[in-house]
Amino acid sequence: MIIKPLIRSNMCINAHPKGCAADVKHQIEFIKKKFTTRSIPADAPKTVLVLGCSTGYGLASRIVAAFGYKAATIGVSFEKEGSDGGIGESREKTGTPGWYNNMAFDKFAKEAGLDAVTFNGDAFSHEMRQNVIDTLKKMGRKVDLLVYSVASSVRVDPDNGTIYRSVLKPIDKVFTGATIDCLSGKISTISAEPATAEEAANTVKVMGGEDWALWVRKLKEAGVLAEGVKTVAYSYIGPKLSHAIYRDGTIGGAKKHLEATALELNKELQNDLHGEAYVSVNKGLVTRSSAVIPIIPMYISVLFKVMKEMGNHEGCIEQMERLMTERLYTGSKVPTDENHLIRIDDYELDPKVQAEVDKRMATVTQENLAEVGDLEGYRHDFLATNGFDIDGVDYEADVQTLTSI
């Protein structure tokens, strides 16, 4: 079959197997090239566990660890596989992008002679934690870097089965902002209703630091964390114009809980293993969820244009390469701000960048959007997250199977 992107309400609901594989390969090639001029410090990671390994920052983190530092990696994510139809199947379905990304990573890691184990399942479950512990013991390895990049809308409490659902809403009052249709470029206005207290609390249960702490403590109890282990989770702060919907909204509340958890884990790991725990505040990027947040698509489009003009634009893989090589593993103390946060959103929030973004945001119209913003770049990144618009892929070619790459 010929696979074209299916867009519904600014979300792409299918994926291209070969496009996903090509994108993973492009990221790997970028890291291999970068590391030809990088010296490997003595404290470089050797065994890396990535929770939420299949897309975005989690996938990029795993690629840097494996193809940069030659580390053994274990990845955990929850993805849906593709189906070619058959008994009980009403139609052919592509898998999720992460399904094909994981398949591609495993293939390229095997070809490179790298140890890699990928689990597809619920990272919130005790069963998955035990699977990882058993695998580490079988491999005779201890984790020296734990990356927590789980992004989910639902979490089932592993102890009592309670289902928690996260929401992306403001607190106290309605938030209204402009958005951009990813394909047509049409500007429209959307609103988000304020969250209830229960919704805000449930979002913290899903997206906060509770599960991260469970993982760290279970692995520590099982004796599979190495002396000097580092763990990092990911957050976003962004510009003031988005704070009402993000930083000061439900997701921001969860991220603040994540950041507080890092301080607790840092103390525990220092005491027990001379280890460290951090939250890295990363740059805003096009993701499957950011496209439906009021104001974010327009902001990112303008931001990309400004940063590309200033020569400091980065995508996921560039951000994670810089996090690993210029923050976490330099042979020196990890640099943080006054709140113990690693800041690799520094290029985005540079006053010169933000001043120019603010200036352009105030002038955006339907007529000048392509001039003041990077609509083509935004559209490319939106499609690329699902394996479309990737260089070197023939999208007119027949895809023989949806179950492999």
- Check whether 287 is labelled as a binding-site residue: yes
- Check whether 234 is labelled as a binding-site residue: no
What are the two backbone dihedrals, phi and then psi, of residue 222, each rounded to the nearest 5 degrees?
-80, -5
- Check whether 52 is labelled as a binding-site residue: yes
- Check whether 57 is labelled as a binding-site residue: yes
- Check whether 53 is labelled as a binding-site residue: yes
Catalytic, out of 246, 278, 299, 329: 246
Tokens of 124: 């919130």
Tokens of 325: 């090589």
| CA triple 341-346-347, angle to 5 deg | 160
Q: Where are the beta strands (DSSP E) in 198-313?
A: 225-235, 276-281
- Check whether 118 is labelled as a binding-site residue: no
- Check whether 125 is labelled as a binding-site residue: no
Residues 6+ apart with CB under 8 A from 180: 186, 187, 297, 298, 301, 369, 375, 378
Tokens of 263: 């301080």
Cα separation, 316 vs 290, in Å, equals 14
Q: Where are the beta strands (DSSP E) in 300-375?
A: 341-343
- Check whether 123 is labelled as a binding-site residue: yes
- Check whether 48 is labelled as a binding-site residue: no
What are the two backbone dihedrals, phi and then psi, of residue 269, each rounded to the nearest 5 degrees?
-70, -35
164 included as an active-site residue: no
- Check whether 24 is labelled as a binding-site residue: no
- Check whether 242 is labelled as a binding-site residue: no
Cα separation, 357 vs 305, in Å, equals 9
What single-letter amino acid sits at 240?
K
- Check whether 112 is labelled as a binding-site residue: no
Please write down the long-range contacts of 289-293, taking CB distance under 8 Å and 24 or more positions apart: 289/151, 289/168, 291/10, 291/11, 291/182, 291/382, 292/9, 292/10, 292/11, 292/179, 293/168, 293/179, 293/192, 293/242, 293/245, 293/246
- Check whether 286 is labelled as a binding-site residue: yes
- Check whether 44 is labelled as a binding-site residue: no
Cα separation, 233 vs 342, in Å, equals 10
- Check whether 66 is labelled as a binding-site residue: no
Residues belonging to the binding site for substrate are 236
Query: Which positions are annotated as active-site residues?
Result: 246
Residues belonging to the binding site are 52-57, 78-79, 122-123, 150-151, 236, 255, 285-287
Residues belonging to the binding site for NAD(+) are 52-57, 78-79, 122-123, 150-151, 255, 285-287
